[in-house]
Structure 1
Amino acid sequence: MTNYTVDTLELGPFTTESGETINNLKLRYEHVGYKGQPLVVVCHALTGNHLTYGTEDDPGWWREIIDGGYMPVNDYQFLTFNVIGSPFGSSSALIDEDFPKSVTLRDIVRAIEVGIEALGYNRIDILIGGSLGGMQTMELLYNRKFEVNKAVILAATDKTSSYSRAFNEISRQAIHLGGTDGLSIARQLGFLTYRSSKSYDKRFTPDQVVAYQRHQGNKFKKNFDLDCYLTLLDVLDSHDIDRGRDDVTEVLSSLETKVLTMGFTDDLLYPDDLVRAVGERFKYHRHFFVPDNVGHDGFLLNFNDWAPNLYHFLKVSQFKRK
């Protein structure tokens, strides 16, 4: 049995970009493996959590990647933080009545940096994330708090598009008008953007899809906090690696980090060409296009379609400079 820890750090005062303060920053995290093994920092997606690996009874959202041999638990140690604003144990509106009204992606990344330092790490061997996790990965790389050997950015672009923000605004309006029932509608809308029309036609009849959508919405409104979801929609909308900066390309192109980007076919929110464009800002870069028909959620599904490329990337030691 490998070493497995789930715990909460209490890290004292933390000030957000807006100038608001979290009096005692709490970060829930999962650590799997042993100190001394290469460190993998995993950044989770919008409604994900810190349980990357999980347990036998409650497997984590990426356990198949690890146990499937693509990133073997005997070869690495894994660290995942629940982002602030999320309802799964880190500081959020759910557990802190004075939680800031405005939280950005840069806030959640700075909090993660504080957590990594508190656990005694100063170097990351592999930094990886999909969707909102990929956005965190970009910010962590730009900040250069830690030396990073390799980074993997899945289904994420250098800013949240107007198209994506439009869906987020409809979700907000649904919540403000309908409370928890509005949260159900927001989740159903989100699911449509995470999957492709081809995957829906392949999986459902027109009658089945209505029941499926309602099931997903009802499950979500029971398991996710409404205020936390609104916080995280704002976090998502705040993402723009170039916001207020004129040196991003210069910084990213100066890094020695080897970067792999992956785009997924039929991804409405983060098209493959824009994912590739992120990687092209780095000195060492490889890109892989995943030709499945699931859509944006491909990084959470059908691992055998793309994880072999991840495995190969992690094993390669020689990279040509562009």
Structure 2
Amino acid sequence: MTNYTVDTLELGSFTTESGETINNLKLRYEHVGYAGQPLVLVCHALTGDHLTYGTDAEPGWWREIIDGGYMPVHDYQFLTFNVIGSPYGSSSALNDPNFPQKLTLRDLVRAIEKGLEALGYSRINIVIGGSLGGMQTLELLYNRRFEIDKAVILAATDKTSSYSRAFNEIARQAIHLDNEEGLSIARQLGFLTYRSSKSYDQRFTPSEVVSYQQHQGNKFKNNFDAQCYLTLLDVLDSHDIDRGRNDVNEVFANLNTKVMTLGFIDDLLYPNDLVQAMGERFKYHKHCFVPDNVGHDGFLLNFNDWAPNLYHFLKVSKIKRK
């Protein structure tokens, strides 16, 4: 196997947007590849983790993208941080009894920026993320703390929709009624927004779909943490690139970063037209529409339907300026 590291950074005191403090910020991360190769920063989604590549015994959630040749491991080095608030090793309510009561997306991104600096990076060749990962990518671009050559944003828009927030609130209410069973219900509810009705009809009979939903809920309640999920729902709801800012269009229009957005058909949460409209705020922008019928989760599935667009975007050296 190529050079592979999973470790935890300890980064000292960290103050959130709300003014709360994490006394010793911990960031769990995965790195695969070698120094000197172009750096790919991968930002994970809501309930994801830092194991993008994983191991042969337990492949990571985007292992197929890398080993499938779309972003070959011999061409790039990959870095993924587990976001704070998540139960998979970074600072969270699970390992810090004084963890902040409320986090925002901007807190997650500032923590990642501290991690990048601690590892000695000043330039990111490619930053890529889907859903909550795409939102993190937007904030990284706005902050301009690092020079970024290319950015890929999948199934994400410039703010969390009211529709998404409504589902998040139902999930909260379920968890507040009963932590364990509520977490299962929240996950089952989430799955209905991650997949399209067409994909459900193609995959399941009416009796099969009930057991599938229950399976997903039971698996999630045994592998995630209710308080962490509540924290991350707050993070998701906080996303609005324009919140408190009046210069976002100007910043994005002047960035030299080449940006590709991908929207997926039947994405209930972040429809293709809104993904495209967000991307058009950038000076250098290419949009791709993915006509599979899985829905929002398309960025985690059916890679052959959309990853060729990623491959070609990474190979292109010039993108037409607006």
C-alpha distance in 1, partners of 2:58/2:215?
21
Counterpart mapping for 1:193-212 below 5 A: 193-212=193-212
- Please list, as runs of the form range in 1=range in 2, the aligned pairs for 1:185-200 lying within 5 A after superposition: 185-200=185-200
Q: What are the equivalent positions in structure 2 for 1:77-96 lying under 5 Å apart?
A: 77-96=77-96
Letter in 1 for 2:286: R
Q: Distance in 1 between matches of 2:3 and 2:74?
A: 10
Q: What is the CA-CA distance between 1:319 and the residue it aligns to?
A: 1.5
Instruction: Give the CA deviation at 1:35.
Output: 0.5
Counterpart residue type for residue 55 of structure 2:
T
Deviations 1:8-67 (A, max 9, x none): 000000000000000000000000000000000000000000000000000000000000
2:171 is matched with 171
Q: Which residue of 2 aligns with 1:238?
A: 238
C-alpha separation between the residues in 2 aligned to 1:2 and 1:221?
34
Instruction: Name the aligned partner's letter for residue 149 of structure 2.
Output: N
Partner residue, 2:311: 311
For structure 2, the 5+ residue unaligned runs are: none
Amino acid at match of 2:308: P
Alignment partner of 1:306: what SS?
Answer: helix
Structure 2 counterpart of 1:284: 284
> 1:181 maps to which residue?
181
Q: Deviations over 1:58-93 (max 9, x none)?
A: 000000000000000000000000000000000000
Equivalent position amino acid for 1:238 in 2: S
How is 1:113-132 mapped onto 2 (pairs within 5 angstroms)? 113-132=113-132
Corresponding residue number in structure 2 for 1:247: 247
TM-superposed deviation, 1:318 = 1.3
**Aligned equivalents of 1:141, 1:318: Cα separation in 2:** 19
Matched, 1:270 2:270: yes
| Alpha-carbon shift at residue 265 of structure 1 (Å) | 0.2
**What is the aligned partner in structure 2 of residue 39 from structure 1?**
39
Map 1:91-170; keep pairs closer than 5 Å.
91-170=91-170
Q: Shift in Å at residue 278 of structure 1?
A: 1.0
Q: Which runs of 5+ in 1 are unaligned?
A: none
- The Cα offsets for residues 99-128 of structure 1, whole Å up to 9 and x where unpaired, read as 000100000000000000000000000000
**Distance in 1 between the 2:104 and 2:283 partners?**
27
Superposition deviation, residue 298 in structure 1: 0.1
Correspondence for 2:66: 66
Amino acid at match of 1:154: L
Q: 4+ runs of 1 displaced by more than 2 Å?
A: none
State the distance in 1 between where 2:118 and 2:311 align: 29
CA distance in 2, matches of 1:19, 1:42: 28
Identical counterparts, % of pairs:
83
**Structure-1 separation of matches of 2:215 and 2:283:** 45
How many positions carry a matched residue from both structures?
322
1:225 corresponds to 2:221 = no
Calculate the TM-score normalised by the size of structure 2.
1.00
Pairwise CA distance, 1:320: 1.2
Q: RMSD of the TM alignment (CA)?
A: 0.3
